[in-house]
Amino acid sequence: MFQNFGKFDKKSLEENYDEAMKNPDFKDLAEATGLPHGELMKHTSKIELSVQERLNCKGCKSLYECKNKVRGYVHTPDVLEDRAVFKYVACPYQQTKLAEEKNSCNYYEMPESLKKAKMKDIYGDDANRLPVLKWLKNFYDTYQNDRHQKGLYLHGSFGSGKTYLICAMLNELSKRNVDITIVYYPELLRSLKESFDKDDFPDRMARLKRVSILFIDDIGAESVTPWSRDEILGTILQYRMDAELPTFFTSNLTIEELETHLSNTKNDVDKVKARRIVERIKQLTCSVELISKNRRN
């Protein structure tokens, strides 16, 4: 009974694609990718969204007039290993706004001192830090040529300087006009919850998903709820994993301990969801442990 289902589904895709190709704007954008019709017809609705957003931009005079799904960004097709992928590209107005920002490293609810962290100021008197410093330097040196490499899950003892080390490297990288967002995770969740019914919530989530480099500080210190785990963290990590966007984490918990923390219950369903989150983190990062003296004392 189901043998012909795939044929009907393929026929429907072909019909929708052929109809869309009658639109000159759609045809131009689709053909510009250089991909075969067999690949493109699977993404007809996404290409149509890109076409509409490009048309919106033609009559737009400012960011405040933006009619696109994500303000200041245009849904755009790209090619990755002979398949179509879609990303949000900053429009000229958004590019100007980003260029005018003094620091492309955006901090949310983080101590002021971290904004001034520099690699040259890091103490080199602790051999336990050397593997972390080597890893961070390698990321810094290679990022310009490989913007889809893995980030870091840095875990270890309290007060060992995990956050400072990563911030120091990212501050240096931001001088190359790399778009970076750094968030203190427990406070981020509180803030997102308060803004859930406000107009800026979609924009804030879009930035967390799409920013070039995201650093989530102190994951595992938050109170876990299904909403924060599945709707917020899961959504952000899934997008970043699919787009291969570098993501950094610090935690006092090992990755195994984090899975237990995210389960928050003996319920098997929650355990599976926690495991999915951890698998995404593993896909996004290399895990490194830092055990050092407490420098906050």
The contacts of residue 252 (CB under 8 Å, 6+ apart) are: 155, 156, 157, 158, 218, 220, 221
Average pLDDT, the chain: 89
List the domain boundaries for the chain: 5-97, 101-290
Q: What is the C-alpha to C-alpha distance for residues 272 and 222, in angstroms, rounded to an integer?
A: 19
Asked if the model's pLDDT at residue 73 lies above 60, the reply is yes
- Which pLDDT does position 134 carry in this prediction? 94
State percent of the chain over pLDDT 70. 92
The contacts found for 198-205 with CB under 8 angstroms, 24 or more apart, are: 202/70, 203/70, 203/71, 205/232, 205/235, 205/236
What superfamily in CATH does domain 101-290 come from?
P-loop containing nucleotide triphosphate hydrolases (3.40.50.300)
The two structure tokens encoding residue 265: 């219950």
Asked if the model's pLDDT at residue 242 lies above 80, the reply is yes
- Which pLDDT does position 175 carry in this prediction? 86
Centroid of chain to Cα 56: 25
The CB density around residue 208, as the number of other CB atoms within 10 Å, is 23
Asked if the model's pLDDT at residue 8 lies above 50, the reply is no
The pLDDT confidence band at residue 121, using thresholds 50, 70 and 90, is confident
pLDDT tens for residues 208-231?
999 999 999 999 999 999 999 999
Centroid of chain to Cα 27: 30
The contacts of residue 265 (CB under 8 Å, 6+ apart) are: 271
Asked if the model's pLDDT at residue 295 lies above 80, the reply is no
What mean pLDDT is predicted for residues 137-145? 94
- Which pLDDT does position 250 carry in this prediction? 97
The two structure tokens encoding residue 289: 């442990």
Distances (CA, A) of 63 to 48, 75, 95, 210, 253: 22, 15, 11, 18, 41
What mean pLDDT is predicted for residues 265-270? 84
- Which pLDDT does position 1 carry in this prediction? 42
Distances (CA, A) of 140 to 56, 136, 143: 37, 6, 6
Angle formed at CA 144 by CA 143 and CA 149, multiple of 5 degrees: 35
Asked if the model's pLDDT at residue 122 lies above 90, the reply is no
What mean pLDDT is predicted for residues 195-204? 84
Q: Which of 56, 101, 93 is nearest to 72 (CA)?
A: 93
The CB density around residue 130, as the number of other CB atoms within 10 Å, is 10
Asked if the model's pLDDT at residue 38 lies above 60, the reply is yes
DSSP code string of 206-265: HHHHHSSEEEEETTTSSPP-HIIIIIIIHHHHHHHHHHT--EEEEESS-HHHHHHHHH-S
Q: What is the C-alpha to C-alpha distance for residues 48 and 16, in angstroms, rounded to an integer?
A: 11
Tell me if 268 sits within 8 A of 104, measured CB to CB: no
Higher pLDDT, 100 or 92: 92
pTM: 0.65
State percent of the chain over pLDDT 90. 67
Residue 72 Rama label (left phi>0; alpha psi -120 to 50; beta): left
What mean pLDDT is predicted for residues 184-211? 90
